[in-house]
Amino acid sequence: MRLLIVGSLGGQLTVASQIAMKRGAKVTHANDIESALKVLRAGQGADLLMVDVHLDIAGLLLKLQNERLHVPLVACGVETDAQAAVSAIRAGAKEYIPLPPDPELIAAVLAAVAQERGEMIYRDDTMAAVVKLAEQVAPSDASVLITGESGTGKEVIARHVHKCSNRASKPFISINCAAIPEHLLESELFGHEKGAFTGAVARRIGKFEEADGGTLLLDEISEMDVRLQAKLLRAIQERVIDRVGGTRPVPVNIRILATSNRDLADCVRQGTFREDLLFRLNVVNLKIPALRERPADILELAKFFIEHYSKANGVPVRELSREARQALMVNPWPGNVRELENTMHRAVLLANGDEIGAEAIRMPDGSPITVSKGPAERAAQAAEAVTRAFVGRTVADVERDLILDTLDHCLGNRTHAAKILGISIRTLRNKLNQYTDEGVRVPGPGEMRAG
């Protein structure tokens, strides 16, 4: 966690800084807004800004927006600054921390920011295999391509790779290639010099330099323009970048991770993605299964989200009813984990009583979740019906019906029936002789009992 404290470091802000460092944060300080912007432009980066409420927070947020610097901000000030606190929240601050600082409150804010970046929650063996492979390749510097449907948790697994790598103490920087206009993405990646283009008011360090020593995640890389892909390939191969408007190459030391919800091999065939870049990125592939393919994770994730959003909304943590669990398990979850998270957030808010019932499980348009019988449920019900049919019968009776039904299926062919049943032809003949002695009609070759 990288914390940038903005404001006079006298008195209470010094205490806040010390508390944050004790909680594991790396703290940087800037006296004023311009100094803070210089820190961010220089690529030192921050995961959270803690800003003195008396500074121009609205102006700072506007400058951050104009320069595409995306950092959450919390305001802080003495408890009597009620009006200033309200103004800060209205301007866009995520939270207000009263001073003198409460250690638990600061810890909670830091934890909330960290939690927004995702936790590894899984139980299914299919997902466990992906996590195991991720941890196996994490210590290397090999590029990793993480693929899977939208919402499966590709960035979460990328952060896990970084956390388990030898670069864990260095920055993890993520950039969404789909969210930034094509003409700005080059500057975001490689940085720019002052005056390089309209709006370049100062030198800006790009994501490559900001991630120096650590890990750079190129999220949804399939959306990057082919022309920029050529510059990216050079940066990966030669470990140098050129700032927009710069005159000399800048060396970088980073590990590259990339994600895509598309089949990049298809993109290569369509001419929208460079094959040589794919080879560079896809040294190791981590394919994240869709949520419907890892059913054991559904209830585990649902429980996690219920606990999280119950605490966030100040409501009691409720258990899921049997009907609600059934509804979650049979839903196809086209939006994967992201859809499940939003659904459980709604359920926490809509639930009444001691449990979260199926009526609280609502889809994005407000309609109730459809409790349709999927293949897994139908198979389970069929198995249950078969089991009920066996109750009260002896093993000998069940065995006799199985043997005679199989013989019927094979039109009386003893050799075929024995192979299907997994017994020897001699054992089958002995059983059939026993049934004949008991008065049961046994079909001959080419016959059926009904025939």
Give the pLDDT score at 216: 96
DSSP 111-134: HHHHHHT-------HHHHHHHHHH
Domain end among 360, 382, 413: 360
| In a domain? residue 149 | yes
Nearest 10 degrees: Cα torsion 434, 439, 444, 446: -130
- Bridge-based pairing of strands 48-52 and 26-30 is unpaired
> Residue 428 is part of a domain; what is its CATH number?
1.10.10.60
- For residue 338, the domain's CATH number is 1.10.8.60
DSSP string, 244-309: BT-SS-EE---EEEEEESS-HHHHHHHTSS-HHHHHHHTTEEEEPPPGGG-THHHHHHHHHHHHHH
Residue 451: per-residue pLDDT: 46
The verdict on residue 386 lying in a domain is no
| Distance between CA atoms of residues 260 and 154, nearest Å | 8
Does residue 376 lie within any of the structural domains?
no
**Single pTM value for the model:** 0.65
Quote the pLDDT of residue 118. 57
β-strand partners of 264: none
372 belongs to a structural domain: no
Domain count for the chain: 4
- Which one-letter DSSP state was computed for residue 241? E
User: Do both 435 and 311 map to the same domain?
Assistant: no
Report the Cα 323 to chain-centroid distance in Å: 26
Residue with tokens 């299926």: 409
Shared-domain flag, residues 218 and 108:
no
Tell me whether residue 304 is in a domain: yes
Instruction: Assess whether 151 and 267 both reside in one domain.
Output: yes
Instruction: Give how far Cα 443 sits from Cα of 200, 229, 238, 255, Å.
Output: 90, 72, 78, 71
Contact in structure between 179 and 188 (CB atoms under 8 Å)? no
**36 and 64 in contact (C-beta within 8 Å)?**
no
Same-domain check for residues 230 and 175: yes
Q: Could you tell me if residue 380 is inside a domain? A: no
- Domain final residue pick, 289, 315, 343: 289
CATH number at residue 161: 3.40.50.300
| CA–CA gap between residue 416 and residue 414 (Å, rounded) | 6
242 CB-near residues (< 8 Å, 6+ apart): 190, 231, 249, 250
Residue 38 C-alpha from the chain's centroid: 32
- One-letter amino acid at 190 equals F
CATH of the domain at 25: 3.40.50.2300
Same domain flag for 431 and 283 = no
Residues 316 and 443 in one domain: no
Distance CA 20, CA 128 (A): 33
Distance CA 237, CA 251 (A): 11
Ordered per-residue pLDDT tens for the chain, 451 residues: 788 888 875 667 778 888 888 877 788 888 888 988 888 887 677 888 888 888 888 888 888 888 777 788 888 887 666 787 888 888 888 888 887 777 777 777 776 665 555 568 888 889 999 999 999 999 999 999 999 999 999 999 999 999 999 999 898 999 999 888 887 899 889 988 887 777 777 888 889 999 999 999 999 999 999 999 999 999 999 999 988 888 888 999 999 999 999 999 999 999 999 999 999 999 999 999 999 999 989 999 999 999 988 988 889 999 999 999 999 998 999 999 999 999 999 999 999 889 999 999 988 778 888 655 555 555 555 455 555 556 667 888 888 888 988 887 777 888 878 888 888 888 998 999 998 888 888 877 766 665 4
Are residues 330 and 404 both part of a single domain? no
State which residues form the domain around 46: 2-115
Whether residues 298 and 284 share a domain: the answer is: no
Tokens coding 42: 């220089």
User: What span, in angstroms and rounded, lies between the C-alpha atoms of 310 and 291?
Assistant: 23
As given in the structure block, the two tokens for residue 176 are 């969404």
Q: Which of 337, 360, 383 is the last residue of a domain?
A: 360
Rounded to whole angstroms, what are the CA distances from 442 to 305, 404, 419, 429? 60, 7, 18, 11
The 8 Å CB, 24+ separation contacts for 336-342 are 336/149, 336/150, 336/151, 336/152, 336/153, 336/290, 336/291, 337/151, 337/152, 337/153, 337/291, 337/301, 338/150, 338/151, 339/151, 340/291, 340/298, 340/301, 340/302, 340/305, 341/301, 341/305
| Residue 143: Cβ within 10 Å count | 17
> Are 270 and 297 found together in one domain?
no
Note whether 22 and 164 are same-domain residues: no
Burial class (CB in 10 A: 0-12, 13-18, 19+), 180: middle
In a domain, 137, yes or no: yes
238: which 2 tokens?
């030669």
Instruction: Write down the residue that tokens 């966030």 correspond to.
Output: 312
Under 8 Å between Cβ of 175 and 190: no
Coil, strand or helix at 137: helix
H-helix or E-strand spanning residue 37: helix 33-41
Same domain, 158 and 264: yes
Residue with tokens 């903005």: 6
Do 157 and 245 reside in the same domain of the chain?
yes
Domain membership flag for residue 447:
yes
Query: What does residue 194 show for φ and ψ, rounded to 5 degrees?
Result: -60, 130
3-class secondary structure, 102: coil
Q: How far apart, in whole angstroms, are the C-alpha atoms of residue 445 and residue 244?
A: 85
